[in-house]
Amino acid sequence: MENQRETVRRREAVRRRALARRRKIRRRRIIFTGVMAGVLAALCLLIKGMLQEPSVDGSVRPVTELGSEGNTAPDRGTIQGLSASDYAKHPDWTEDFLTVNEYSRPGEALPKVKNIFVHYTANINTSAAQNRSYFESLKDTHETSASAHFIIGYDGEIIQCVPLDEIAYAVQTRNYDSVSIECCYRSKDGSFTQETYDSLIGLLQWLMEVYDLDAEDVLRHYDCGGKKCPLYYTEHPEEWEHLKEELQDVS
Ligand SMILES: [Zn+2]
């Protein structure tokens, strides 16, 4: 009888020890899982940070999601951030927006427009369509970050690549408060054809009107950063003054 009780006690003790061991193992597993989850979360954040590659001017620019149409008019009744009546007065252009991508159309909001920058493509005899394709190709080649809101071809045609309520990558320090226009050219001195020039004047006048800007707010890329762009107007500053006078005349 005594022996039987002793056996039962021993078995009970063995059972308790085994139970305690199992609890200890379970606790350790819970702690281990928690630590691993923490490490994984930290790793995910690190990788995410590394994937946001810095762009040409060094700042990190995450790609923001846009709707399938890629047009982010925030309020009803506005088109590309402009009132419907202002927008309706725009000169003829072909709307051919770039695919949202971090190399030429980051899809980030353009909060204000203080200046309009004029550029030349620096690629003689290339058409507006070809230059638009180049901007589009950057999403695959990752060659550089570059784009403009508009490209004017040497026949005077205008292609809109980026909506006016989004930034383009055109003037490194001024992408968040300016609109940029690229001009094609056929002459070695970088001068524009009459057709390009006329379209440029018309587009600039419309932009000046809708953003309430003065001719002095129209700048050469050269005026911000010193790049010889647009070439002809950096080498012929008097012609640039003349262009601005023409803008002023009508406005
Ligand atoms: Zn330029």
Cα of 20 vs centre of ligand 1, distance in Å, is: 74
Cα of 180 vs centre of ligand 1, distance in Å, is: 8
Cα of 41 vs centre of ligand 1, distance in Å, is: 42
**Three-state DSSP state, 119:** strand
State how far the Cα of 142 lies from the Cα of 104, in Å rounded to an integer: 9
State how far the Cα of 177 lies from the Cα of 166, in Å rounded to an integer: 10
Cα of 36 vs centre of ligand 1, distance in Å, is: 50
Cα of 24 vs centre of ligand 1, distance in Å, is: 68
Cα of 131 vs centre of ligand 1, distance in Å, is: 13
Q: Maximum distance among all alpha carbons in the chain?
A: 120
Cα of 148 vs centre of ligand 1, distance in Å, is: 9
Q: Using omega within 30 degrees of 0 as the cis cutoff, is the peptide bond preceding 230 cis?
A: yes
Cα of 221 vs centre of ligand 1, distance in Å, is: 5
Task: Give the pLDDT of the chain (251 residues) as one tens digit per residue.
Answer: 566 777 667 777 767 777 777 777 677 775 656 556 656 566 545 555 455 434 444 334 444 434 334 455 455 689 999 999 999 999 999 999 999 999 999 999 999 999 999 999 999 999 999 999 999 999 999 999 999 999 999 999 999 999 999 999 999 899 999 999 999 999 999 999 999 999 999 999 999 999 999 999 999 999 998 789 999 999 999 999 999 999 986 54
Cα of 120 vs centre of ligand 1, distance in Å, is: 6
Question: b or e along 112-127 (b: 16 or more beta carbons within 10 Å of the residue's beta carbon)?
Answer: ebebbbbbbbeeeebb
Q: What are the helix (H) ranges across the chain?
A: 2-51, 84-88, 128-141, 194-210, 231-235, 237-250
Residues in CB range of 195: below 8 A, 6 or more apart: 154, 155, 156
CB atoms within 10 A of CB 83: 12
Query: What's at 33, amino acid-wise?
Result: T
Cα of 216 vs centre of ligand 1, distance in Å, is: 18
Query: What's at 149, amino acid-wise?
Result: H
Q: Using an 8 Å Cβ cutoff, are 119 and 221 in contact?
A: yes
**Structural domain boundaries in the chain:** 78-250
Cα of 133 vs centre of ligand 1, distance in Å, is: 17
The pLDDT, as a whole number, for residue 76 is: 64
Cα of 220 vs centre of ligand 1, distance in Å, is: 8
Q: What letter would DSSP give residue 217?
A: G
Cα of 190 vs centre of ligand 1, distance in Å, is: 12
Closest to 39 (Cα-Cα) out of 28, 47, 49, 27 = 47
Beta bridge partners of 124: none
Q: Label residue 24 exposed, middle or buried (CB < 10 Å: 0-12, 13-18, 19+).
A: exposed
How many residues in total does the chain contain?
251
State how far the Cα of 80 lies from the Cα of 90, in Å rounded to an integer: 12
Q: What letter would DSSP give residue 56?
A: T
Closest to 104 (Cα-Cα) out of 182, 157, 45 = 182
Q: Is domain 78-250 in CATH 2.60.40.10, yes or no?
A: no
The pLDDT, as a whole number, for residue 77 is: 84
